[in-house]
Amino acid sequence: VIIGVARETAAGECRVAVTPETCRKLVAAGAIVRAERGLGRGAHFPDLAYVDAGAQLVDSADDALAAADLVLCVQPPPADVIARLQHGAVLVGMLQPQADPARAAALEALGVVAFPLERLPRTTRAQAMDVLSSQAGMAGYKAMLIAAQLAPRFFPMLTTAAGTIRPSKVLVVGAGVAGLQAIATAKRLGAQVEGFDVRPETREQIESLGGKFLDLGVSAVGEGGYARALTDEERVEQQRRLGEHLKTVDVVVCTAAVPGRPAPKIVSAAMVTGMKPGSVIVDLAAETGGNCEFTRPGDTIEHDGVLVAGPLDLASLGALHASEMYARNVFNFANLLLRDGALAFDWDDELLAKTVWPPRPSASPEQ
Ligand code: NAD
C-alpha cells in the first residue's frame, strides 16, 4: 500500500498527520510512505527524520498523493488536490465533509473512501484514535496560557516585600476535554480556579483537578451523554447566576460546545460590562462562533477595560506535541485498515462503519 502525506495548506495549520515516529511504524507495517518535502517543518520535524524513518521524500503534493492508496491529513486537502486523487483512494483526517458541500461532492464524485475522524464514535476502544480529545487538550492548555499572558495580573498568590498579591480568580466555562485541561493549567499556574458545565459528572472531574465546581443550577444532558442546548428558562437561570458571579472573576476561559450546533452564547454583553476592568476573556469556542457575545474569531477586542480574545488554531500553536498525539491517533486508526501491508475494510467494525463518509446504509455490511 502507498501512503501519501502532503504539507498542510490551510492558513495557520502547522500540524502534520504523520510524524517520523508513526512513519516508522507504517513502514514497519509494510507500507510505502511518500512524504512531500518540508512536510513536518511547521511542527519541527525535519525531512531527514522522515528519511531515517523510511519515507520516500517527493517534491510536490501531487507526487505524494496522486498514486497514493491511503492519504493521511490534518485538515481536508483543497478541492483541486482532492480532484487529483486516485479513484477509490482512502482519505483519513479531520475532513468535516458537512462543512463544505463542494468538498463532500468532490469526495463522492471520485469515489474516495473518506474517514472524517471527528465522526469516530467516542467509545473506549476509540480513545486511542480520538483526535477531538487529543487536540482539545492542547487547545485548552494554550487558551489558558494566552489568558495568563493577556492578564495584567499574576495568577499565583505572592507574598513579597512590596506586599501580598492575591491569586487571580479564574473561571472555566464548559468542562469537557479542553475545559479540564484549561483548569489543570490555571491550577498549575497558581490561580484560584472554578469551572462549570451542564453535565453534572463534571463536578467530580473539576474537583479532582483542584478546582471548585460553580453550581449554576442547570443540568442539561442530551444524546450520548453530551450536553444538549438549554431551554429558554434554563438559559435565563444560568445567565442570571453567572452574571452576578462574573463581577468577582479576573479571567474567563470559554470552552462550551454542543455537538453539531454553533457554540452556545453564555457570556452576554451585559455580563462583560459588569466585569472588573483588567479582566480577560479567552474564548476557545471562537472557531464555532464563540461563547461570548463580544468574541471576534481570530481577533482580540477591548470593551470597558475587559479584553475578549477569540484565538483560532489553538492546537496548532502547540504543533509539535499536538502532531505527535494526532499522528498516533491517525496511526491507530490506519491500523484498522491495514492487513498484511494492504488495505482491507472490516465493515462489521463500528469504528469504520460509523466513521466512513458518505455514511453507509446501516444494513449493508458487505464491501
Ligand atoms: P465538547 O467540546 O462537545 O463540549 C465542551 C463542554 O461544553 C462539554 O463538557 C459540554 O457539556 C459543555 N457545555 C455545553 N453547553 C454548555 C452550557 N450551556 N454551559 C456550560 N457548559 C456547556 O465536549 P468534549 O470535550 O468533546 O467531550 C465532552 C463529552 O464527551 C464528555 O461526556 C466526555 O466524557 C465525552 N468523551 C468521551 C470520550 C471517550 O470515552 N472516548 C472521549 C472524549 C470525550
CA–centroid distance, 198 to ligand 1, in Å, is: 9
State if residue 132 touches ligand 1 by the CB under 6 angstroms criterion. Answer: yes
In contact, 75 and 53? CB cutoff 8 Å:
no
Torsion sign, CA atoms 310, 316, 321, 325: positive
Per-residue pLDDT of 19-61, as tens digits, reads 999 999 999 999 999 999 999 999 999 999 999 999 999 999 9
Pick the residue whose CA is nearest to atom 43 on ligand 1. 133
Q: What is the pLDDT of residue 347?
A: 96
What's the Rg (C-alpha) of the chain? 22
Q: What is the pLDDT of residue 331?
A: 98
Q: What is the pLDDT of residue 259?
A: 85
Per-residue pLDDT of 284-323, as tens digits, reads 999 999 999 999 999 999 999 999 999 999 999 999 999 9
Mutation choice for ligand 1 from 130, 197, 206, 350, CB with most ligand atoms inside 8 A: 197
Q: How far apart are the first and last CA of the chain?
A: 19
State if residue 175 touches ligand 1 by the CB under 6 angstroms criterion. Answer: yes
State if residue 126 touches ligand 1 by the CB under 6 angstroms criterion. Answer: yes
Q: In the chain, which residue ranges form alpha helices assigned H by DSSP? A: 20-28, 47-52, 61-65, 79-83, 101-109, 131-150, 177-188, 202-208, 232-246, 269-273, 314-317, 319-337, 350-353
**Spans of the chain, pLDDT less than 50:** 363-367
Q: What is the pLDDT of residue 30?
A: 95
Q: What is the pLDDT of residue 338?
A: 95
**What amino acid positions are annotated as catalytic residues?**
122, 127, 130, 133, 226
Which ipTM value was assigned to this complex?
A: 0.94
State if residue 230 touches ligand 1 by the CB under 6 angstroms criterion. Answer: yes
